[in-house]
Amino acid sequence: MGDQSNNNSFTSFQLIGFTDLKGYRPLLFIPFCIIIIYTLFANGILIIVIAKHRKLHAPMYILIGLIAALGFFVPIYFIPRMLVGFLLDWNTITRHECLIQMFCMHFSACFQSTILLGMAVDRYFAIIYPLRYNDFVNMTNSLIFSAVLSIRNALSIIAMVGLVVPLTFCRTDLIYHSFCEHTSVVNLACNDISKNYLALTVAFGITSADCFVIFCSYVIIFVVIFRSPSGESRHKAIHTCTTHIMTIVIAYISVTAAFVGYRVPTIPRDIRILTSVMYHLVPAICNPIIYGLRTTEIRTQIVNLFKFNKTNSPITSTYAMLISNCTGRCYHLLGIAACRTSSSAHGSAAGSSARNHRSPTFRSFNSGTSPGGGAVTGTFPCHPLQVIAVLPAAVIWG
């Protein structure tokens, strides 16, 4: 650590964000651990519900599913490393890992903007041209729209990160941040970084252009809605658009807070890092609540998912598949162990009545193999809440 001559470049960095808190820094492990468990669980539920039910495979719900997928994966990009740093003070990240993390973080931010734009376009055609909606929003047009914007985002972020690759980092290897944010890394370079800031400006301009189109779309949408006669369709349109606007406002307020945090020198640097971190986390935290509560079709399916009072409850088979597919047989066995413990604890107290009152059971475990391919024999009674308790740990530490 420290400085190097201009002929040498650091091959690793130290992410020392929040070290101004000194002895209190390890306490940050608790809130961020809770956040990642919640975001994985809540967004995972949303993804499962949308993927499982065919009537939720309409464009609007697919976009909601993509938003949930972002909320699921973005915390994985940087929170586990933060937790290790808080708890064990392991803050080293190699140069290549830093560049990969930078690409993932910035590409996810651009992709989020693209999804919000897609939602605005979808609502625009649904409300402005309701009779021709299927002509505009069809599979071909959706694929073209998605491909063009994805290529645009990829080229922008590849150029931005690619310009970081040849830089020589000789000033210091200390990055006062919790992940490899572009500006924090580039400022360590000894080279001319004007091209890097130009690439960052282009990426920011793309997001700003998306924001402008979104704003104009919803202005037109609400003008049309309020000019239309009152009724159930008008109320539904307002409700749907308001839900999307809540998501958009949360996303762009987070961006603005992070942007202002880096431009106002009087703001403490720990506050700047917090705003930058929450810029990525706030949408992942809020979106499942917004769409889970305000979207009737999704809310209904989530309620059905948690109705585990019947033997063939959807949640048992759904979570059995999720545990097995995502984390492998070891966590499947972890779930069985938890269920066996509960079963043995209640077995002696239940007595002979256990023969007449069976617990909900993982049906897929009875065939001799687990859904993920591991060999399993017998039937293991298990309450769905025990599966929910096991799942976050399985996903985090898997």
Mean of pLDDT values over 69-74:
94
pLDDT score recorded for residue 395:
40
In this structure, what DSSP letter does residue 121 have? H
Q: State how far the Cα of 74 lies from the Cα of 281, in Å rounded to an integer.
A: 8
In this structure, what DSSP letter does residue 231 have? S
pLDDT score recorded for residue 7:
57
Count CB-CB contacts under 10 A for residue 75: 25
Is 12 a residue whose pLDDT tops 50?
yes
Q: Using an 8 Å Cβ cutoff, are 330 and 323 in contact? A: no
Mean of pLDDT values over 249-264:
81
Q: Which of 37, 29, 107 is nearest to 75 (CA)?
A: 37
Task: Give 78 or 322, the one with higher predicted confidence.
Answer: 78
pLDDT for 85-96, tens place per residue?
A: 999 989 999 999
Q: State how far the Cα of 138 lies from the Cα of 42, in Å rounded to an integer.
A: 29
Q: State how far the Cα of 336 lies from the Cα of 330, in Å rounded to an integer.
A: 10
pLDDT for 364-380, tens place per residue?
A: 333 343 334 444 444 33
Q: What percent of the chain has pLDDT over 70?
A: 75
Is 252 a residue whose pLDDT tops 60?
yes
Count CB-CB contacts under 10 A for residue 2: 8
Q: How confident is the model at residue 191 (pLDDT cuts 50, 70, 90)?
A: confident
Is 336 a residue whose pLDDT tops 50?
no
Concatenating the DSSP letter of every residue in 142-185 gives HHHHHHHHHHHHHHHHHHHHHTTTT----S-SEE-SSS--HHHH
Helix, strand, coil shares of the chain, percent, nearest 5, are 75, 5, 20
Is 329 a residue whose pLDDT tops 50?
no
Domains of the chain: 12-305 (1.20.1070.10), 314-397 (no CATH)
pLDDT score recorded for residue 330:
38
Question: What is the bridge-based pairing of β-strands 12-15 and 174-175?
Answer: parallel
Count CB-CB contacts under 10 A for residue 210: 23
Assessment of whether the complete model's pTM goes beyond 0.75: no
Mean of pLDDT values over 40-56:
91
**Extended strands (E) in the chain:** 12-15, 92-94, 174-175
pLDDT score recorded for residue 310:
46
Q: Using an 8 Å Cβ cutoff, are 337 and 290 in contact? A: no
Encoding tokens for residue 19? 């070290």
pLDDT score recorded for residue 98:
94
